[in-house]
A and B are shown apart, each in its own frame.
Chain A
Amino acid sequence: MPELPGVFTEETVTPSGGRRMTLNMGPQHPSTHGVLRLLLELDGETVVRAEPDIGYLHTGIEKEFEVKTYQQAVTLTDRIDYLAPLSNNLCYCLAAEKLLGLEIPPMAQWMRVMLTELTRLNSHLVWLGTHAIDIGAMSVFLYCFREREDILRIFEAFSGQRMMTSYFRIGGLALEPPRGWQARVKKFIDAFPANVDEYEDLLTNNRIWMGRTKGVGKISIEDMLDLGVTGPMIRAAGIPWDARKDEPYSSYDQFQFNVPTRLENDVYARYLVRVEEMRESAKIVKQALDGMPSGAWQADAPHVVLPQREKMKTQMEALIYHFKIVTEGFRVPAGEVYQVIESPRGELGYYMVSDGTSKPYRVHVHGPSFGNLQAVPEMVEGRLLADTIASIGSMDFVLGDTDR
C-alpha cells in the first residue's frame, strides 16, 4: 500500500518479527495542555516514527488583522499566545511604531519591559507546573499557579483583564498605571526568589525528576538551527541567542541581566535554563521598579494616540481628533517591517505590510512555538514512549501560537 503523507500504515511487521502499532497521542480537549496530535509508530515501547499534526487550533487570526484598524488589531495579538499576551502586544506595537516612526517615552518603554518580564514569569510558571505534572510531580503545579495568580492580579490591576490584557497600544500604554502599582509589584517580586527556591527544592535534586529528564530529548544543534528552534531550547544547547541582548528593543539595553545557557542540551538543561531565566527576569523587574522614569506614558502624537480624557472633554480640537481616530483609525505610511522580540518561548516576530491605509495589508506572525514543535521527530524517534512526554513538555509550545 502506498504510504500517504502524514498517515501511517495500520500495522507492519518489524524485522525482529514483532508488530508495529500506530498510536494517536491527542488531540485532547482544548482546555488541556494543548490540542496537539502526535502520530506515533511504536515498536514495543520504542517510538519508530513521530509526526506532529498541527492545525486543530487554527483561528484565522492573521487574516483577521486585515479587516481591523491598527489599534483594534491589538486585541487579536492577545489571543495568539495566550500565555504571553503582553509579549505579543509589545511585538505588534513595536512593528507598527516602527512604520509610523513614533518615539515612545521612556516611562512607557520601561513599563513595557517590566510587564513583559512579568509575562515571562507567568509563562514559565505555567510551563514548569504543567511540565512537572506531565512527569508526575503534582505539588509543583499548585505552587506555580499560586504565584501565577499574583501576576495575573497585577495584570488585572493594570489593564482590567487577567489574560487578554491589550495593555500596550500603538503609541504607549492603554491606561495610566494604576494607583499603588509600585507596592503591588514590589511585594510580589521581593517574595518571588524564595518561591523559585521552593520549586528547586522540589525538583532540582529529585532523583525521579532527574531520571526522567537527564539525557532525554537530545537533538543536534545543526538540526535545531535548521528547524528554526529558538528560545530556552537553544540556550540549553549552549547558544546564547536572546533578542533582548542581541537586538535590543524597548530600552532593554539599559538593564543588566544575564542570558543563562547550559551545554547538556536535554530536558533537564532546559528546565535549569528556564528556572535561571525566572531569576533573571525577577532582577529585571526589580531594576525597572527601582529606576522607573517619570513622565508621559503615551507618545506625543495627536494623530495616533487618543487625547487624554480631560482634554477631550474640554477642548474642541481634542474632541475632533478623538472622533477621527475612533471612527477611522490612523493611516500608517506604506512599507513593510519585521520586528523581533524575545518571547518566553523564543524568538517572536511580526512581519507587517502597510499599504498606507488605516488597516494592515498583511500581518504575519512568526511564532516561536511553531519552530520549536518541528523538533519533535528528531527528539523522540528511536527513544522510549515515556520520554516523548518529557521531550514535548520541554519545548513549551502553545498551540495558539503554532496554528494562529
Chain B
Amino acid sequence: MANPIEEVLGTAASIAKGMGVTLREMLSPTVTENYPDEPPKFEERFRGVHVLQRDENGMEKCVACFLCAAACPANCIYIEAAENTELVRISGGERYAKVYNIDYNRCIFCGYCVEACPTDAITHGHGFEVASYNTATLIKRKEDMLAPIPPGAHAPVIVPQQPAGH
C-alpha cells in the first residue's frame, strides 16, 4: 500500500486534471446539430430517398431496362415496362416504366441501383425522413419519386391508354 498522503494527493491531482478537461470543453464551441429545429447537414454523396430524374425536355430518363432491379441486393424495385407510342411519349427511349415502385421496407440505401442505371435515371436524393407507422405507405410509387418538370420544358403528352386489342 502506498503512503496515504501520496495517495490523497495523487487522487486530488487526477481529479483536478479531469476537471480541467471538462472546464476546457465547456468553453469550446458546440458541435451538436439542432435537428429537427435546424436542417441536418449531409455530404454530397449521401444516399437518401431516390429521385427519378427527367431530361431537359421533361421526359423521364428511365427507359425500363430493369438493370436497377437486377442489381438491387434487397429485391425491392418493381418495374412494369410499356412502349412509348406516338400519342403517349413518356421517356426519351423506346420504353418507359409504367410502374416503378421501390419498397422502402426493404431498401437498404446501398446505391447499387444508382450504379447500375445506364441512363442516370435513378439517383439518391438527400431525403431521409421516411419513417412511418404504416408499412403500406413505405412503398413509394414513381409519382412520389419523380423529379419536377424543369421550368420551360413541355410536359410530356399523357393520353389515357386505349384498352389492348383496340
Contacts and interface: CB of A to CB of B under 8 A. Distances in A.
Nearest to A142: B25
Interface in B33-82: 42-47, 67, 70-71, 73
Contacts of B10: 205, 207
Interface residues of A, number: 36
Interface stretch (B16-24, B94-102, B129-137): B16-24
9 contacts: A72-B112, A73-B73, A75-B112, A161-B47, A202-B18, A205-B17, A206-B15, A206-B18, A326-B70
A157 B21 contact: no
Interface of B: 10-11, 13-15, 17-18, 20-22, 25, 31, 42-47, 67, 70-71, 73, 108-112, 115-116, 118, 124
A178 B44 contact: yes
A323 B110 CA distance: 19
A71 B112 CA distance: 10
Interface of A: 68, 71-73, 75-76, 139, 143, 146, 149, 153, 156-161, 164, 166, 174-175, 178, 198, 201-202, 205-207, 306, 312-313, 319, 322-323, 326-327
Contacts of B15: 206
B21 A198 contact: yes
Nearest to A210: B14
Given A72-B71, A201-B18, A207 B110 contact: no
Contacts of B14: 205-207
B118 A319 contact: yes
A75 B43 contact: no
A156 B18 contact: no
A174 to B, nearest CB: 8
Nearest to B116: A326
Given A313-B118, A327-B67, A157 B44 contact: yes
Given A149-B31, A160-B43, A326 B111 contact: no
